[in-house]
């Protein structure tokens, strides 16, 4: 992967009008949801938040598809990928390629979303003004050739909006506008900002257990809303580890869920950073 290709993925261009309009509309819908609250709609939105962010992004796109921290049956792997598309964060090949590039160039020239290029840029500016190549599956496949070998992942990346559209139709049919606003608009907006905070906040605020070459930090409040993804310094020090919260007080729901899958013989080949060696490294620093 050459430097020229890497930079072209994250270079600044003009405003992506379609992306900007879509995000504005979803944010308007999220605000409108607050004026039609019901416990039923809240519960459904919370459940779908776990499905989309907990299973789709944290356990799926990130720990499984990007870093191959563990292995599950292919059908479940595909299911996690479908859950990931429900977040409005693009298809699996795009997401995985972008995150692998982030690790390769973390907080260096070519990083798609480093706070060194500005806090706003790292949070959402890279999506609004960057050449993110959501729809250039061929280019992004260079960074995710393992996924590109699967026709399903290629199709899902090209048509990542289909599962979300189908869910939106079902939600509207079952609960009308109020449920749509909660289960789709508000749920997606909260999920987007939770994921974006991993890109921005955890490279600006928090503690550093490991002296990594980037600015990654452990941030407890980001971890709470992202199913353990906020233990970002731990992750950058041990990117292949399925466990991000290395201390007993570092709550990592995704790691708990992976252990549950392991108990039932579903998750295998789990890669975990040695907690003892991790803390020895901190003491020696």
4 Cβ contact partners less than 8 Å away, ≥ 6 residues apart? none
> Nearest Cα to 199, choosing from 242, 229, 169?
229
What are the backbone angles phi and psi of residue 224, rounded to the nearest 5°?
-65, -35
The answer to whether 20 and 128 have CB atoms below 8 angstroms apart is yes
What pLDDT score does 135 carry? 74
What value does the mean pLDDT take over residues 94-103? 97
Sign of CA dihedral 37, 40, 41, 44: positive
- Encode pLDDT of 55-73 as tens digits: 999 999 999 999 999 999 9
pLDDT digits (tens, 9 = 90+) for 177-200: 999 999 999 999 999 999 999 999
Q: Which residues of 193-227 are buried (b: 16+ CB within 10 A; e: fewer)?
A: bbbbbbbbbbbbebebbbebebbbbbbeebbebbb
Kindly report whether the global pTM for this prediction surpasses the value 0.85.
yes
**pLDDT digit string, tens, across residues 150-173:** 999 999 999 999 999 999 999 999
3-state class of 204 per DSSP?
coil
Phi, psi (rounded to 5 degrees) for 208: -120, 105
Does 228 score more than 50 pLDDT?
Answer: yes
pLDDT of residue 7: 40
């Amino acid at each position: 992967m050459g430097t020229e290709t890497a930079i072209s993925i994250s270079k600044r261009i003009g405003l992506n009008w379609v992306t900007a309009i879509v995000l504005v509309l979803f944010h308007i819908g999220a605000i409108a949801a607050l004026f039609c609250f019901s416990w039923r709609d809240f519960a459904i939105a919370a459940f779908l938040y776990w499905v989309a962010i907990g299973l789709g992004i944290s356990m799926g796109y990130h720990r499984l598809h990007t870093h191959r921290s563990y292995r599950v049956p292919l059908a479940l792997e595909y299911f996690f990928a479908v859950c990931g598309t429900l977040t409005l964060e693009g298809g699996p090949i795009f997401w995985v390629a972008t995150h692998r590039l982030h690790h390769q160039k973390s907080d260096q020239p070519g990083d798609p979303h480093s706070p060194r290029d500005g806090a706003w840029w790292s949070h959402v500016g890279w999506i609004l003004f960057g050449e993110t190549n959501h729809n250039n599956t061929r280019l992004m496949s260079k960074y995710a050739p393992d996924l590109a070998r699967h026709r399903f992942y290629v199709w899902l990346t090209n048509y990542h909006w289909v599962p979300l559209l189908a869910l939106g139709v079902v939600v509207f049919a079952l609960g009308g506008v109020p449920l749509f606003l909660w289960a789709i608009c508000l749920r997606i907006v909260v999920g987007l900002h939770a994921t974006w905070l991993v890109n921005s906040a955890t490279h600006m605020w928090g503690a550093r257990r490991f002296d990594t070459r980037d600015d990654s930090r452990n941030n407890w409040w980001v971890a709470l809303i992202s199913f353990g993804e906020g233990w970002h310094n731990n992750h950058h020090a041990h990117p292949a580890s399925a466990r991000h919260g290395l201390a007993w007080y570092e709550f990592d729901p995704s790691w708990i869920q992976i252990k549950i899958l392991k108990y039932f013989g579903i998750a295998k080949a789990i890669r975990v950073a040695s907690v003892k060696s991790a803390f020895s490294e901190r003491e020696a620093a």
